[in-house]
Chains A and B, each alone.
Chain A
Amino acid sequence: MMNYDGDPAVHARDLTAVRGGRTVLDALRFDVPRGRVTGLLGPSGCGKSTLLRAIVGTQAKVTGTLDVLGRPAGDPRLRPRIGYVTQDPSVYDDLTVRQNLDYFAAVLHPGRAARALRRDRVTRAVEDVDLTRHADALAGRLSGGQRSRVSLAVALLGAPELLVLDEPTVGLDPVLRRDLWTLFHTLAADRGTTLLVSSHVMDEAERCHRLLLMREGRILADGAPDALRERTGTATVEAAFLHLVDDAAATGRTPEAARTSLEESAR
């Protein structure tokens, strides 16, 4: 594990989570550096969402050490400091985009005194996700991609120090995906936000400063995309991922996996 300057935004040691009697996260050990875009990459069902939920503090039955922004995950004082976007957009379909944001802003900054602040934050969040033209449309009438951007806008309202995004780019067209990644990098560079973004699409990995590669509830690798490619002698993160999977399999699990490994190294 590498050392970073200052406290990491997320610090996990021996982090384990059990869901329905099954170990979904198995003794994870990793750090997420502050002010960077960290990608959590892995196939569907590998435990990415559970890990993100544990960090946000909504996952039950989590053991081990998990510190977020210097406090144990789930501490009530962390709630205003973390923005969390679930995989499915969680907004009210029977409210307009602006009404959705107004309500969540009122939860984050209650009271009359914060009225001007709320208005600014709502306007900025709508602009950030490029929905100004749709601000007065019902969320339920928007396309899937637009709804997930409303959900993202809600997470941006509180100007969170840590932004946890569960598959934010699934189902978006390439232009929109590029725009979102630009936004993520702007947030990290200009506002110093730490971003933890999960995805099962490996080519998104190239856009991250750092990567956590996950499979079957374990962290396969942790590092910058370049370093991963170099270490595994591969051209893409996807190939690096496969290489690492096969390495793990080569320690003697299934002949099936070993054969894939040979094919992969022949490429």
Chain B
Amino acid sequence: MTTAPLPAGAPHPAPAPWSPSRTLATAARVLRQLRHDPRTIALMLVVPCVMIALLRYVFDARPQTFDGIGASLLGIFPMITMFLVTSIATLRERTSGTLERLLAMPLGKADLISGYALAFGLLAVLQSALATGLSVWVLGLDVIGSPWLLLLVAVLDALLGTALGLFVSAFAASEFQAVQFMPAVLMPQLLLCGLFTPRDTMQPALRALSDVLPMSYAVDGMNEVLRHPDLTDAFVRDAAVVTGCALLVLALGAATLRRRTA
């Protein structure tokens, strides 16, 4: 494409790469779409609570086991739900042509991504608050640290799930594929994150692999809160790793949004 000479004092400024109003409008739009789908909201909020409650009574005779696994799951649920919801939502945006339309409009990619992250982040706060509250006050999850820190990790995990879902949706051509990415991306992390067995007892190669997977840090962070009364260095490190991974994957996700496609 050749460049045409620009008229002096061009009256049409380039749109800003990121605008808070456009981000808020996008987040409001995503939430409005969800509001027309109350069943999805109900499933997102209720299913984690039911699972945690189920787990509590599965380990009825061993409350310590529930403490360990329950806290880890509080970090894992938001990640899984947000992964699924985001990957399907973005895939729909791609296949319905609305993504192409938006990218042909003065909308920054950062507006779109942060709008999605904000909307699903809010939902994640709600989901995590419900699940954490239920676990701590009703099911008797024994947490030594502050439940607020549990909530913080849960929200960061949800953000990571949103980021992964957004990224993966670029590689899925259909809803079928998008759903299959869930086991492909999350199951290995689930097996290696220390939920089933402590990470330092794993075969060394797997141990090393679990060191580079973000979910391991989500679970470690949860366990720090479970066992220590105050903020530990390890907790700060875990939270920072999860946040860093989420931001990195969000940036990668932004790179998969192309204004020009074949």
Q: A58-B104, A58-B261, A60-B261 are in contact. Are A77 and B21 (CB under 8 A)?
A: no
In the complex, chain A residues 3-19 whose Cβ is within 8 Å of any chain B Cβ: 19
A79, B36: Cβ atoms under 8 Å? no
17 contacts between A and B (CB under 8 A): A19-B262, A58-B100, A58-B103, A58-B259, A59-B262, A67-B2, A70-B6, A70-B7, A71-B6, A72-B1, A77-B14, A80-B12, A104-B101, A104-B105, A107-B25, A110-B19, A110-B21
Given contacts A76-B14, A90-B100, contact A20 B1 (CB under 8 A): no
Total A-B Cβ pairs within 8 A: 117
Task: Name the contact of A67 in the complex, choosing from B4, B103, B258 (C-beta under 8 A).
Answer: B4
What CA separation (Å) do A98 and B79 show in the bound complex?
Answer: 33
Complex Cα distance, B10 from A58, in Å, reads 23
- B233 surroundings in chain A (CB, below 8 A): none
Inter-chain contact B32/A99, CB cutoff 8 Å: yes
Tell me the dominant secondary structure on chain B's binding face.
loop
Residue of A nearest to B7 (CB): A70
Task: Give the chain A neighbours of B25 by CB distance below 8 A.
Answer: 103, 106-107, 110
B22, B32, B36, B98: the one within 8 Å of A110 (CB): B22
In whole angstroms, what is the CA distance A28 to B142 when docked? 72
B3 on interface, CB distance cutoff 8 Å: yes
Report Cα–Cα, A50/B192, bound state, in Å. Answer: 47
CB of A67 to closest CB in B, whole Å? 5
Distance A10 CA – B262 CA, assembled complex (angstroms): 21
B102 at the interface (CB under 8 A from A): yes
8 further interface pairs, Cβ-Cβ under 8 Å (given A77-B15, A90-B100, A107-B26):
A57-B260, A58-B259, A70-B7, A76-B15, A76-B106, A79-B15, A108-B106, A110-B19
Identify A90's interface contact among B15, B19, B96, B260, CB under 8 A: B96
Contacts of A92 in B (CB 8 A): 29, 33, 96, 98
Binds B, one of A81-89, A127-135, A227-235: A81-89
Q: How many Å from the CB of A22 to the closest CB on chain B?
A: 11
Q: Which 9 A-B pairs have the closest CB atoms?
A: A90-B97, A110-B21, A106-B25, A60-B260, A103-B29, A79-B106, A77-B12, A76-B14, A90-B101
The A-contacting residues of B in range 4-63, CB under 8 angstroms, are: 4, 6-7, 10, 12-15, 19, 21-22, 25-26, 28-29, 32-33, 36-37
Q: Give chain A's interface secondary structure class.
A: mixed
Q: A257: CB under 8 A from chain B?
A: no
Residue of A nearest to B101 (CB): A90
Expressed in whole angstroms, the Cα–Cα distance for A158 and B102 within the complex equals 13
B residues in contact with A81, CB < 8 Å: 12
Are the C-beta atoms of A106 and B260 separated by less than 8 Å? no
The yes or no answer to B107 lying at the interface (CB within 8 A) is: yes
Q: Verify A94–B2 contact, CB threshold 8 A.
A: no
Cross-chain contact A60 with B105 (CB below 8 angstroms):
no
**In-complex Cβ contact of A95 among B6, B19, B29, B97 (8 A):** B29
Closest approach, in angstroms, between the C-beta of B83 and any C-beta of chain A?
A: 20
Given contacts A19-B262, A74-B259, contact A95 B33 (CB under 8 A): yes
**Are A86 and B21 interface neighbours, CB within 8 A?**
no
Question: Is A240 part of the contact surface with B, judged by Cβ < 8 Å?
Answer: no
A107: B residues at CB distance < 8 A: 22, 25-26, 102, 105-107, 111
